[in-house]
Structure 1
Amino acid sequence: MESNVIQYLIVLFVYFVGMLVLGFWFNKKAHSEKDYFIAKDKLGAAVIGFSYSATQMSGSTFMGSVGQKSVIGYSLMPAGIASASAPWFTYVLLGERIRKLSDRLKSVTISDIFEARYYSKFVGIVTCIIMLCAFIPMISAQFQAAAVAFEVILGVPYLVGLFIFGIVVILYTTVGGMLAVAWTDLIQGILMIIGFMILAPIVLYATGGFSEMNIKYGEINPEGMALIGAMSPLWVISSFIVWGFFQIGGAPASVTRFLIPKDDKTLKKALIYSISFQSLMYICAAIIAIGGAVILPNLEKADMLVPTLIFEYLHPVFGGIVLAAVLGAMMSTIDSILLLAGSLVTVNIVPKITKKQLDTSKRLKIGKISTLVIGLLAILIAIDPPAAIFWVVTMSFSIMASAFTFPLLLGIWWPRATKEGGIAGIIGGVVSCIVWYILGYIEYQSFSIWIGGIWPAVFGSMVSLVLVTVVSYLTKPAPQEVIDTFFDDILIDKPLANEVVNAQKG
């Protein structure tokens, strides 16, 4: 046992040192806030594509999501399919538009785009507050997942694992910025692929193959074999929509990657990498979830399925690689969210509070301090963590999806959207999402079962859509300069553009 732990620790030590070296290496290459926060025009398609997907796939993919699939069964599989297809929605509906707009607006954060489109500093502040409030529990959930993995596999005390992991990821993110984050995401993404491609065949072999695996799973969880099993049809449909389409608003750290590419060609190539990466990962995740439930039917905590499989079925060297992949999934989410959180404080909050123009060195210093402080706060919360990983991440995701999906989508595609409509959609989406969670808890004493089977992200987003549309039609149209900035490449003929806008005014 002690020998096995040493081998695990050696693999992880090499991995952590490598991440830190990259962080300090790229620290020398960040000369401006754009270099530090978004590495504008400095990353290729493969790095952007892997970074987008690695950010989207957090500890919940390896632990929470796999664990929940093992319990719920095939009713949750559409969520995996939707997650694999999420890049189609975000790249196609947002990618090119966000990239072009970021060039025009000189944007560093996604809040810059919200503020410019809805011509309101209030909108910029509100979007920052919502993201920061959602980010901290999401980061804490990743820290929790990492510390538990250390505890289960290596026997390392929870708090020791938490602080080792937390310090490493906070340090390389704070020091290296987006260049370090994106390149470490690429490495972590490759490790994720290797890790799941090692574990999935072993699990499948241990169950006796696909047919035998499903027969055995049907014996221990008959309801889990049905696409519409214990969950209602609307629950299944909602989960598919949420983890696919609603990545548009629910994953701003991933969407921030669209601020980086230098041209559309790079963006389209990045999409291919993202789709390929995520499709492979979620196929393997499905096999591990169902097969793992067969192999370990009496596991007390579903979140512990992957760590337990690693410990019991893999040689320590291979187990160390898979564990590094699991930790990499968490790191890639934490580093991206941390960096975006730091950029929101530096670019969108501090200048409005101080009302001063700071030079580059001061902005970079504030960015690094903000990133460090937010990371440490998330660690403190993770010391005494809340409920299951999957549902903590889901709740934070749902709030952001409700707030941002349609105000962002309509904001960049619909000229008639107004400031008042955007504000109503953002705030109304958050409030209705939270209310839906509360009503579900009152009815079922659970945050994972909702009235009518409708996910809070879907309900909140639908309310947001109605509010943006109705309030926009009832209020004065956006100023012409906003229309020109956001839509002159869509409404190419200027007289025609004015005619369309005037028609909408009427």
Structure 2
Amino acid sequence: MTEQMYQLVSIVVYMIAMLLIGWYAFKRTSNLTDYMLGGRSLGPAVTALSAGASDMSGWLLMGLPGAIYLSGLGEAWIAIGLTLGAYLNWLYVAPRLRAYTQVSNNSITIPSFLDNRLKDTSRLLRVASGIIILVFFTFYVSSGMVAGGKFFQSSFGLEYHTGLIIVSVVVLAYTLFGGFLAVSYTDFVQGLIMFLALILVPAFGIFITGGFSETAASIREVDSALFNLVSGVSVVTIISSLAWGLGYFGQPHIIVRFMAIKSVKETKSARRIGIGWMILSLFGAIATALIGIAYFQQNNVDLADPETVFIVLGQIIFHPLIAGIMLAAVLAAIMSTISSQLIVTSSALIEDLYKAVFKTNATDSHYVFLGRLAVLVVTIIAMILAWPNKESVLKLVSFAWAGFGGAFGPIILLSLYWRKLTAKGALFGMIIGAVTVGVWGSIDVLHDALYEIVPGFALCLIVAVLVSKATYKRDTVIEREYDDTLELLKEEM
């Protein structure tokens, strides 16, 4: 059996496993809450790893190692910002959001929570937030599909569109039938695969480069500045990189996991597992890049594409069957994010737009059917956008992250920690945040000067507070729910 055939076997086994998990989840999905939120039944480990896997995508195994390989530890500031942001998100958002969404009419999506929390009778807030999710995530899903097509093109020599179709069909199958449970369970498995791969490659790689001292010496021969966190990095660049952490507070596909965990109490265990997974995975990605620099220096070889350093090292170190698992880890990172975004987009279409606009009272089975139809439609649209294989689609990942962070981040924090936030304050803040990110991110001079999430987040926060102060009227129902949430937190924490 050829090396490529061994690797293909690993990929096929992985994909079959994902489909089987999807089938298992399908058998456990009976109503809309099951399909959109898994019946609030996730354990801490599944919650933590599914949140991490849906967050990191191919950036963890390809983007970050490639950046470190090219420029050294100066590129690690984004990883530091993301780790800090993720920790604060687990600490301050997870327990309150789990409790508040339960108290406030058992909300199962972010827009429905904001609608219920702020008692918006106009439904404008819910519709606006649903539209923001729909627009950003359609392009976000598309960028993941582009990455999947390129993965099969570079790894197996398949035509780009063939790889695109394979990834799209498999993700569509388990997401469409199994819903949120399938996405969470597959993300958990994918998170484990990613974690093991990122630990194994540097752990074994250090031996082929001669140990720690020999590896460090080889890296210094290439450029001693590669070990310097601040070499060639400006203060503004550091601020922009750290600001990626602000995005966590507003990412619907991540914070929806907080709403799905079994209880508030289990968010503490989930936080420890999730942050532990994240720190070790990021460390593994950075170590992989540094070992790659040493290996290719020692063997006097130029790596054609720095973003493939993880894949190439895996193929060098391990038997082709194990190297195939390394490839599956990259595919897992891509697919886990696509599936998470698909289910959130589906919920935005059905729960937050269709039900809000048409105000129908159909059966749960009807809404589940519409949810699956929405997954299919969004997948097809995303595939159409991904079909031309334009690099610009991938650039929308950072843009979409900033969009969600700037539009939703401050609103989520204020809704959980400030009694006087109003529906109008949230609506105007959200719109200003999204528009600011859109304008700032589309002007190269501004984007290059400062990451658009910073002005977007700041202006959203300021506008939301000012408008809320101008429009605040005491509401006894809102006050009671806020107090009930605090009581629930005391009881369960």
User: How far apart are 1:60 and its partner, in Å?
Assistant: 1.6
Question: What does residue 357 of structure 1 align with?
Answer: 361
**2:89 alignment partner in structure 1:** 90
Task: Name the residue aligned to 2:6.
Answer: 7
Q: Distance in 2 between matches of 1:264 and 1:472?
A: 28
Task: Give 2:150's aligned residue.
Answer: 148
- The CA deviation at 1:253 is 0.6
Runs of 4+ in structure 1 off by over 6 angstroms are none
- Name 1:495's counterpart in structure 2: none
- Does the C-alpha gap of structure 1 residues 389 and 202 become closer, same or farther in structure 2, counting only changes over 3 Å? farther
Match of 2:101 in 1: 102
Q: Measure the CA separation in 1 of the matches of 2:260 and 2:375.
A: 20
Residue of structure 1 in register with 2:275 after alignment = 275
Matched, 1:481 2:477: yes
Q: How big is the shift at 1:119?
A: 3.2
CA distances 1:227-255 after superposition (whole Å, capped 9, x unpaired): 2233311211331232x343111x21110
C-alpha contact (below 8 Å) 2:96/2:485 kept by paired residues: no
Residues of 1 paired with 2:174 and 2:480: CA distance?
40
The answer on 1:401 being equivalent to 2:405 is yes
User: What is the rounded CA distance, in whole Å, between the counterparts of 1:474 and 1:491 in structure 2?
Assistant: 29
Q: Is the 8 A contact 2:411 2:426 kept in 1?
A: yes
Residue 261 of structure 2 corresponds to 261
The residue number in structure 1 matching 2:387 is: 383
Deviations 1:275-324 (A, max 9, x none): 12111100101111233344457444433333333344432111111111
Q: Against the structure 1 CA distance between its residues 293 and 436, is the aligned structure 2 distance closer, same or farther, given a 3 Å change threshold?
A: farther
Q: Cα deviation per residue 1:429-480 (whole Å; 9 max; x = unaligned)? A: 11212222233x146xxx6xx22xx321122101111111222222233533
Measure, in 2, the Cα distance between the counterparts of 1:209 and 1:470.
58
Partner of 1:119: 119
Q: Distance in 2 between matches of 1:240 and 1:209?
A: 32
Kept after mapping to 1: 8 A contact 2:437/2:455: yes
1: CA distance between counterparts of 2:463 and 2:306?
Answer: 39
Unmatched tracts of structure 2, length 5 or more: 489-493
Q: Distance in 2 between matches of 1:489 and 1:43?
A: 20
Unaligned runs of 5+ in 1: 493-506
In 1, Cα distance between the equivalents of 2:160 and 2:319?
23
Residues 99, 485 of structure 2: 8 Å contact kept: no
Q: Within 2, Cα distance between the matches of 1:118 and 1:76?
A: 40
What is the identity, as a one-letter code, of the residue corresponding to 2:36? F
Q: Secondary structure at the match of 1:39?
A: helix
SS in 1 for 2:38: coil
Give the count of matched residue pairs.
481
Q: Do the aligned partners of 1:87 and 1:271 also contact (CA within 8 Å) in 2?
A: no
Q: 1:219: how far off?
A: 4.5
Note if 1:188 corresponds to 2:190. Answer: yes
Q: Percent identity?
A: 27
Cα 1:231–1:431 change in 2 (3 A) is farther
Asked if structure 1 preserves the Cα contact closer than 8 Å seen for 2:66 and 2:308, the reply is yes
Q: Letter of the 1:16 partner, please give it.
A: M
Matched letter for residue 42 of structure 1: S
> Equivalent of 1:237, from 230, 236, 239?
239
1:306 aligns with one of 303, 310, 321: 310
- Matched with 1:81 is 80
Contact 2:10 2:324 in 1 (8 A): yes
Paired residue secondary structure (2:40): coil
1:347 to 343, 348, 351: 351
Which segment drifts farther, 118-127 or 333-342?
118-127
**Per-residue deviation, 1:394:** 1.3
CA change 1:388–1:491 in 2 (3 A) is same
Query: Aligned partner of 1:477: which letter?
Result: K
Any idea what the Cα deviations from partners look like across 1:196-245, whole Å, max 9, x if unmatched?
12212244334444444444444545654432233311211331232x34
Supply the distance in 1 between the matched residues of 2:232 and 2:391 (Cα, whole angstroms): 22
2:465 corresponding residue in structure 1: 469
| Equivalent in the alignment of 1:198 | 200
Give yes or no for the alignment of 1:337 onto 2:341. Answer: yes
**1:432-447 map, 5 Å:** 432-439=436-443, 441-442=444-445
CA RMSD of aligned residues (A): 2.3
TM-score (norm 1): 0.89
Match of 2:169 in 1: 167
